[in-house]
Amino acid sequence: MEQKKIDRINELAHLAKERELTAEEQEERAILRREYIDSFKRSLVSQLETTYIVDEKGNKTKVQRKGKK
């Protein structure tokens, strides 16, 4: 996610503390938040896909989604 969009999320958060946001601002904030969350999830999944667990014997096991074995 672009830094410009993150800055806008923070700007809207500060505005919300000072006053009530307009309907357009609330909609923009919701869209930006969803985009941020989706970006975070993609990044986390990507990182976990390259993660391995090493046991005490040195055996590597790829991390799997819960319920998949």
What is the distance between the terminal CA atoms of the chain, rounded to a whole angstrom?
33
Confidence of residue 26 (pLDDT cuts 50, 70, 90): very high
pLDDT of residue 66: 82
pLDDT value at 30 more than 90: yes
pLDDT of residue 21: 94
Q: Determine what percent of the chain is predicted with pLDDT higher than 70.
A: 97
Give the pTM: 0.73
How far is the C-alpha of 51 from the C-alpha of 1, rounded, in Å?
23
How far is the C-alpha of 38 from the C-alpha of 56, rounded, in Å?
35
Residue pair 35/4 in contact by the 8 Å Cβ criterion:
no
